[in-house]
Amino acid sequence: MEEQSHLMQTLSGVTLAGHPVALPVPHDGTDARNKQDIGDILHQIMTITDQSLDEAQAKKHGLNCHRMKPALFSVLCEIKEKTGLSIRGSQDEDPPDPQLMRLDNMLLAEGVSGPEKGGGAAAVAVATAAVGVGADNSIEHSDYRAKLSQIRQIYHTELEKYEQACNEFTTHVMNLLREQSRTRPISPKEIERMVNIIHRKFSSIQMQLKQSTCEAVMILRSRFLDARRKRRNFSKQATEILNEYFYSHLSNPYPSEEAKEELAKKCAITVSQGKGSTITVSQVSNWFGNKRIRYKKNIGKFQEEANLYAAKTAVTAAQAVAAAVQNSQTNSPATPSSGFQMKDEDFQLDAAEDKNNLLNNMFTGSSGSYSLPGSGDMFMSMSGLNGSYQPAQVPSTGQTQGDSIRHAIGQSLGYSDGLRGNPLYSPHGLNGNGGWHDAVTPSSVTSPIEGANSVHSDTSN
DNA sequence: AATTATGATTCACG
DNA sequence: CGTGAATCATAATT
């Protein structure tokens, strides 16, 4: 208390007096001298705000102009280096984040981060054209590509934006640091480190961009390219072709690689001018795989179809026969005595279907057995034509035309094997366990016949 | 909405 | 590797 009041007094007195900073007054009384000291300090404190701007600036300038300044700064920098800052600086950049690598690789693979291909529709056109012969699922493909290039565009613009922002920020910071380096010790190394930090930050942002781009691409991919998701049924014609082959090779429905190619090509041709995507060999394989297993699993369900296609091939064969006959032998009647007309295809098919229905009515009940008695007289007649069967039941195939007709059939039918005994009526291909595979050598029923008259245009294909 | 048809995929086998 | 079998996922049908 006492002191404080003193202090206040002195303070007020000094202040009011407006004395400049006073030197300690040589006075013998210690009390007085202490007072004087305190008064000085307080005075300094009180006036520091007034003096600061001008004088401090002046001092600073003085210091800056000091000849030792650069040396001192460099020393300070070194000290800074060797203390805390350098610790963190040691684990610098290099480790190229595997995650980022992965994303980069993927984007590259996906063609997103690669060189921009002109962009937009032009690129799409070029790309699909480049795919060329495939022309595959060009519809969906182009759609996919359009979306992909969209993604790519967004990605690139974003990337560029980030790049630009990064550069701007970096230069800004660098300018700032350079500016400050005049007033405080900042080593070039430090600046560099700062830049690195900035770049890291930005690249982590970029990684997010890449991440989300990857996600988008993946989603797009699963939506468009995953054929499983976008299942398209084959066109009617394609399934017809495949079924034709299948049922005419029922005894051994394993098309060779070439046969598959041919079938695929055929489907492509039939479907060429339309919506249906062309069918690839592997799709043919799939189809046959599915068909085999499903046929075997439930033959009853496929009987109608089988009969239909058998009749169909028979009809086409018959038409071919008719043509051949007309071409070659003028005097013999085009219609053998098999009992069905071959002029009007529609009628033929209808008739076949009627027969099939009849067959189904008769035999669908008997589920387990896949051997039907020879009741499809149309087909039997054709079998007779082909010479696979010599049944007394349908005898009347004109013997006069035998060879030429056989020839005609062999040439006109794409697949000739079938007429040698359609398994519908004698499914030799299927052994008791329901296997086809070991029936490469057709079982008892067919083999002797084959030996008898070998009309194997099958191999000619 | 439930069911069937169908193309594709997966897995084990030889 | 090509198959058969089981399964998935979607199209088509009821």
Residue A15's pLDDT is 41
Q: Is the shortest CB-to-strand distance from A366 to strand B under 7 Å?
A: no
Q: How does residue A116 score in pLDDT terms, banded at 50, 70 and 90?
A: low
Residue with CA nearest C1' of nucleotide C4: A293
In the three-class reduction of DSSP (H, G, I as helix; E, B as strand; rest coil), residue A119 is classed as coil
Burial class (CB in 10 A: 0-12, 13-18, 19+), A399: exposed
* Secondary-structure percent of chain A, ordered helix, strand, coil, rounded to 5: 65, 0, 35
Q: How does residue A240 score in pLDDT terms, banded at 50, 70 and 90?
A: very high
The torsion defined by the Cα of A86, A91, A94 and A99, in degrees rounded to 10, comes to: -140
Identify the helix (H) or strand (E) that includes residue A217: helix A188-224
Residue with CA nearest C1' of nucleotide C8: A228
Q: Which nucleotide is nearest to A253 (CA to C1')?
A: C3
Tokens standing for A455?
């009309």
Long-range contacts made by residues A443-447, C-beta under 8 angstroms, separation at least 24? A445/A421, A446/A251, A446/A388, A446/A420, A446/A421
Residue with CA nearest C1' of nucleotide C3: A289
Looking at A206-220, A232-246, A382-396, which range is the least confident one? A382-396
How far does chain A reach from its first CA to its final CA, in angstroms? 123
Q: What single-letter amino acid sits at A20?
A: P
The CB density around residue A198, as the number of other CB atoms within 10 Å, is 17
Q: What's the Å distance between residue A318 CA and nucleotide B8 C1'?
A: 37
Tokens standing for A105?
């690789």
Q: Is the shortest CB-to-strand distance from A339 to strand B under 7 Å?
A: no
Q: Is the shortest CB-to-strand distance from A229 to strand B under 7 Å?
A: no
Residue A144's pLDDT is 66
Instruction: Reply yes or no on whether the pLDDT at A358 is more than 90.
Output: no
Residue corresponding to tokens 């007649």: A381
Contact A277, A310 (CB under 8 A): no
Q: Is the shortest CB-to-strand distance from A231 to strand B under 7 Å?
A: yes
Query: Of A294, A278, A412, A304, which Cα lies nearest the Cα of A363?
Result: A304
Q: How far apart are CA A37 and CA A155, in angstroms?
A: 71
Query: Of A233, A276, A261, which Cα lies nearest the Cα of A136?
Result: A276
Q: What single-letter amino acid sits at A288?
A: F
Q: What's the Å distance between residue A165 CA and nucleotide C6 C1'?
A: 55
In the three-class reduction of DSSP (H, G, I as helix; E, B as strand; rest coil), residue A147 is classed as helix
Between helices A281-297 and A236-248, what is the axis angle to 10°? 60
In the three-class reduction of DSSP (H, G, I as helix; E, B as strand; rest coil), residue A227 is classed as coil
Q: Is the shortest CB-to-strand distance from A290 to strand B under 7 Å?
A: yes
Q: Which nucleotide is nearest to A291 (CA to C1')?
A: B6
Sequence-separated (6 or more) residues with CB below 8 Å from residue A171: none
Q: What's the Å distance between residue A101 CA and nucleotide B3 C1'?
A: 48
Q: What's the Å distance between residue A307 CA and nucleotide C9 C1'?
A: 31
pLDDT digits over A319-349, tens only? 777 776 776 655 544 444 433 333 333 333 3
pLDDT digits over A192-208, tens only? 888 888 988 998 888 88
CA atoms within 13 A on the CB side of A317: 32
Q: Which nucleotide is nearest to A433 (CA to C1')?
A: C4
Contact A234, A267 (CB under 8 A): yes
Q: How far apart are CA A111 and CA A152, in angstroms?
A: 8
> Which strand B nucleotides have any atom less than 7 A from protein CB atoms?
5-9
Residue with CA nearest C1' of nucleotide B6: A233
Q: What's the Å distance between residue A432 CA and nucleotide B14 C1'?
A: 21
Residue A419's pLDDT is 45
Residue A430's pLDDT is 65
The CB density around residue A193, as the number of other CB atoms within 10 Å, is 17
Q: Which nucleotide is nearest to A230 (CA to C1')?
A: C10
Q: How far apart are CA A212 and CA A208, in angstroms?
A: 6
Looking at A42-51, A61-70, A386-395, which range is the least confident one? A386-395
Residue with CA nearest C1' of nucleotide B7: A231
Q: What single-letter amino acid sits at A291?
A: K
